[in-house]
Amino acid sequence: MIKIVGLNKDQLKGFTKTEAFENFEFAPISELREVSHIHNPRAKPEDNLLFLAYENDCLAGYLGMLPDDVTDRNGHKVHFGWLSTLFVSEKFRGKQIAQKLLYAAEESYNKNLMITEFTPSAGRLYRKIGMFEDLKTKAAVRYYYKSNLAELLPSKKDIFLKNKIWLKRFDSFINIFIPYLSKGKNHIYKISRSVDDDLSRFISVQAKNPIARSSEDFQWMLNFPWLSQKKEESDYLFSSYSEDYEMFWVVVYENQQIVSAMLCSVRNSHLKVLYYFGNSKVVSEVLPKIIRKYNVKMMTLYDDHLNHSINDLPKAIYKRPLKREYLVHKGFKEKLGKNFDFDFTDGDGDFSFT
């Protein structure tokens, strides 16, 4: 018989240090994710942050949640959860454990569920059970500035993973001959890893999407990342380690006043602009400076305005179109009303942490 157990903030605290956790055949959460979930300013005490599926006291699978809020058309905050992780052990496949985990999340969050950044196989499952509905796909552009085969190819075939060190050497050699093609404009800017009072005030008066991140949310992201630069948790399926990872603010000034700001992450030479505020043109003019400073090899942007502003300013040697799909629980979509527009930013969901 399958048993589903949900863990809230109090129950999750210290979970990765318990004897039961140590005895699991696979890890249902990383230590950094545990700590981050507990400090999520949008997570309520009663929210289940992790669902565990057991069969005869053996861990069979798990589902991770990231609580969030959205403002509806009437200005009311509606609490919901992003599905962040879903895994079922091969030993227990064919027993509809994934469905049972999803039904538990559906009940716990009163049908207020969202999903993004899912694999094609997971997408087929979500659509098959009939619980979710597609929202508008978000288009993106991936810009390539340097050779980055050591990061791109190993995910395609095992032979590339085995030869990653040689791919790194090839990248290093060929990149000697590939210069950055734009220096950007000489705006005054600073790099910051905290939200000070001036930045907080600037963010508070900017136009926001219905998810409306606050300075408190951004500081939580900076303080409690999901990626470790010290150790990799080998028995955890989802991302937990990167030898090269940093999240930071780029704050741009004119006449000693903030005119634009963007929250960025760089992971293995891959730049993402998670959130930005202010003039998109100014942001695009500063990006070449950031690309050069952090030796960025590629950058991905899902924001139409920013992609339009950039055009060819930070000149890339190659561009590739991408897309991001979103699924919403049918009951949640009905509550928010017909044609409700989330107007997602790049960092919404758990994208800021990975």
Q: Please, how many CA atoms are within 13 Å of residue 65, restricted to the half-sphere of its CB?
A: 30
Looking at residue 269, its pLDDT comes to 92
Query: Distance between CA 160 and CA 153 in Å, rounded?
Result: 6
Average pLDDT over residues 292-312: 89
Residue 252 has pLDDT above 70, yes or no: yes
Compute the mean pLDDT over every residue in the chain, rounded to the nearest whole number: 92
Amino acid (one-letter) located at 249 = W
Q: Where are the alpha helices (DSSP H) in the chain?
A: 9-12, 19-23, 31-39, 97-108, 120-128, 149-152, 158-162, 164-175, 197-204, 215-223, 280-293, 304-310, 330-336
Query: Distance between CA 44 and CA 9 in Å, rounded?
Result: 8
Average pLDDT over residues 40-51: 98
Q: How does pLDDT run across 190-244, given as a tens digit for each residue?
A: 999 999 999 999 999 998 899 999 999 999 999 999 998 877 777 898 988 888 8
Owner of token pair 């890890």: 27
Average pLDDT over residues 304-312: 82
Residue 76 token pair: 């009311």
Q: How far is CA 15 from CA 37, 283, 302, 320, in A?
A: 12, 41, 35, 41
Residue 225 token pair: 């990342």
Looking at residue 170, its pLDDT comes to 81
Are 2-137+326-353 and 140-145+180-323 the same fold in CATH?
A: yes
The shares of helix, strand and coil residues in the chain, as percent rounded to the nearest 5, are 30, 30, 40
Nearest Cα to 112, choosing from 85, 131, 126? 131
Q: How does pLDDT run across 134-174, given as a tens digit for each residue?
A: 999 999 999 999 988 887 777 677 777 777 888 888 888 88
Domain boundaries, the chain: 2-137+326-353, 140-145+180-323
| 226 Cβ contact partners less than 8 Å away, ≥ 6 residues apart | 30, 32, 33, 36, 239, 240, 350, 353, 354
Structurally, at CATH architecture level, domain 140-145+180-323 sits in 3-Layer(aba) Sandwich (3.40)
Global pTM value: 0.92
Q: How many residues does the chain have?
A: 354
Residue 294 per-residue DSSP state: T
Q: Which residues of 223-249 are buried (b: 16+ CB within 10 A; e: fewer)?
A: ebbbbbeeeebeebebbbbbeebebbb
Residue 132 token pair: 């979710």
Q: Is 266 helix (H, G, I), strand (E, B) or coil?
A: strand
Owner of token pair 């942007």: 301
Task: Residue 282: count other Cβ atoms within 10 Å of its Cβ.
Answer: 20
Query: What strands, in cross-sheet order, belong to the sheet with 50-55?
Result: 2-7, 50-55, 58-71, 77-88, 113-116, 326-329, 132-134
Residue 314 has pLDDT above 80, yes or no: no
Residue 177 has pLDDT above 80, yes or no: no
> In percent, how much of the chain has pLDDT > 90?
75
SS3 assignment for 85-106? EEEECHHHCCCCHHHHHHHHHH
72: left (phi over 0), alpha (psi -120 to 50) or beta: beta
Nearest Cα to 185, choosing from 260, 245, 247? 260
Query: Distance between CA 204 and CA 15 in Å, rounded?
Result: 36
Average pLDDT over residues 21-43: 96
Q: How does pLDDT run across 284-294, given as a tens digit for each residue?
A: 999 999 999 99
Phi, psi of 294 (to 5 degrees): -100, 15
Task: Indicate the CATH number of 2-137+326-353 among 3.40.1010.10, 3.30.499.10, 3.40.630.30, 3.30.420.40.
Answer: 3.40.630.30
Residue 322 token pair: 């991408």
